[in-house]
Structure 1
Amino acid sequence: MIKITTDSTCDLPEALLREYDITVLPLGIVKGEGLFRDGVDIHPADIAAHVDAGGAITTTNAVNTADYLDCFSRLLKTCDAVVHVNLGSKISSCHQNARIAAAELSNVYVADSDNITVGMGELVLRAARAARAGHTPEEILAELEDLRRRMEVSFVLDRLDYMKRGGRCSAVTAIGANLLKLHPCIEVVDGKLAVTKKYRGSMERVVSDYLHDRLDGRDDIDTERIWLVDSAFGPELADAARAVLQADGRFGQILESKAGCTIFSHCGPNTVGLAILRRQ
Structure 2
Amino acid sequence: MSEKKKIILSADSTCDLDEELKERYHVNYFPLHINLNGRDYLDNVDITPEQVYQEYYDHKVLPKTSAVNVQEYIDHFRPWVEDGYEVIHVNLGHALSSSYQNCCLAAQELGHVHVVDSCNLSTGTGLTVVAAGKMIEEGMDAETIAGKLRASTSKRHASFVLDTLTFLHAGGRCSAVAALGANILKLKPSIQVDNHDGSMSVGKKYRGALDKVLVKYVKDELARHPDINTDLLFITHSGIPQEYIDLVRKTVEDTMAFKEIHVTKASCTISCHCGPNTLGILFETK
Bin the TM-score by the shorter chain.
over 0.9
Aligned equivalent of 2:265, options 258, 265, 275: 258
How many residues in Structure 1 have an aligned counterpart in Structure 2? Answer: 279
User: Match for 2:73: what amino acid?
Assistant: Y
User: Match for 1:220: what amino acid?
Assistant: D
Whole-angstrom distance in 2 between the partners of 1:176 and 1:25: 38
Matching of residue 60 in structure 1 with residue 57 in structure 2: no
2:129 corresponds in structure 1 to 124
Matching of residue 5 in structure 1 with residue 5 in structure 2: no
Which piece of structure 1 moves more, 73-82 or 206-215? 73-82
Matching of residue 175 in structure 1 with residue 175 in structure 2: no
Aligned equivalent of 1:105, options 98, 101, 110: 110
Aligned equivalent of 1:163, options 158, 163, 168: 168
Matching of residue 76 in structure 1 with residue 81 in structure 2: yes
Unaligned stretches of 5+ residues in structure 2: 1-5
Given that residues 161 and 191 in structure 2 are in contact (C-alpha distance below 8 angstroms), is that contact kept between their aligned partners in structure 1?
Answer: yes
For 1:1-280, what aligned pairs fall within 5 Å after superposition? 1-189=6-194, 190-191=196-197, 192-216=199-223, 218-279=225-286
Secondary structure of 1:76's counterpart equals: helix
Deviations 1:5-46 (A, max 9, x none): 110110011232123221111111111111110011111111
Whole-angstrom distance in 2 between the partners of 1:106 and 1:126: 23
Q: Report how far residue 203 of structure 1 moved.
A: 1.0
Unaligned stretches of 5+ residues in structure 1: none
When normalised by structure 1's length, the TM-score is 0.96
Secondary structure of 1:251's counterpart equals: coil
User: Match for 1:266: what amino acid?
Assistant: H
2:3 corresponds in structure 1 to none
Q: Report how far residue 233 of structure 1 moved.
A: 4.0
In the TM superposition, structure 1's runs of 4+ consecutive aligned residues that sit over 6 Å from their partners are: none
Q: Report how far residue 154 of structure 1 moved.
A: 0.4
Secondary structure of 1:224's counterpart equals: strand
Whole-angstrom distance in 2 between the partners of 1:13 and 1:217: 26
Q: Report how far residue 79 of structure 1 moved.
A: 4.3
User: Match for 2:66: what amino acid?
Assistant: N
Which piece of structure 1 moves more, 158-167 or 212-221? 212-221
Given that residues 84 and 111 in structure 1 are in contact (C-alpha distance below 8 angstroms), is that contact kept between their aligned partners in structure 2?
Answer: yes
When normalised by structure 2's length, the TM-score is 0.94
Given that residues 103 and 115 in structure 2 are in contact (C-alpha distance below 8 angstroms), is that contact kept between their aligned partners in structure 1?
Answer: yes
Whole-angstrom distance in 2 between the partners of 1:154 and 1:199: 14
- Indicate the RMSD between aligned Cα atoms, in angstroms: 1.3
Whole-angstrom distance in 1 between the partners of 2:119 and 2:227: 20
Q: 1:218 to 1:112 in 2, by over 3 A?
A: closer
Given that residues 81 and 110 in structure 2 are in contact (C-alpha distance below 8 angstroms), is that contact kept between their aligned partners in structure 1?
Answer: no
